[in-house]
Amino acid sequence: MSSLVIIDSECANLNSIYKAARKVALEPVISDNPHIISSAPAIIFPGVGSFAHAASLLSKKKLTEALLEAIARGKPFLGICLGMQLLFSKSEETSLSRLNEPSEGLNAVPGEVRRFPAGLPIPHVGWNRVDPVFEHPLFAGINDGAYFYFTHSYYARPEHKDNLLGLTEYGFSFTSAVISGNLYGVQFHPEKSGPAGLRLLSNFGKIIADQL
């Protein structure tokens, strides 16, 4: 059995993250099987696109409960881009079935996802700096202010400061990495971020190894 499962939610570029994980000596499998996911030793949850659409697909594919079970088991879990946003309680992006109401996330990290304010170029696309809030093994060997690749129109706002792991400037300081126990989320795409991104994935692999 693989020590790492990459979630197939139909809202991610799975090939990119799979190749990047293999490049740093991880041996992932890609799955949308709820039973495999709920019992996985570790998880990467990538995502791109609409929060509401992705949340709807998670429910349709019966992955919502499986993800929550995996998180509750305390195994290493890394959400990427939309995969990080879906860890939050809700998003300003309206629901597909309840127009003008916030879309609901997994509520694994209390807080909400908001659209960047008017006046800023949206989406926020390209390379930007990430400053860790404190030293953590996920960012070991990565310089403070290292550049990572972003592409998003919404940003996460944790309810509790204890969940802040990284910050990035884009008109204001927004959350670019979060933490809750063994649960991590990054707004950027490590698989598209060159050596710094690969180092982060390698660090996540070391976190997994320490838990096995």
Q: List the catalytic residues.
A: 81, 189, 191
Which is it for strands 154-158 and 109-115: parallel, antiparallel or unpaired?
antiparallel
Residues 203 and 179 sit within 8 Å (Cβ to Cβ): no
Phi/psi of residue 155, nearest 5 degrees: -130, 150
Residue 26: count of CB within 10 angstroms of its CB: 21
Q: Which residues contact 121 (CB under 8 A, 6 or more apart)?
A: none
Structure tokens at 14: 């799975």
Structure tokens at 156: 């996460």
Structure tokens at 174: 């927004």
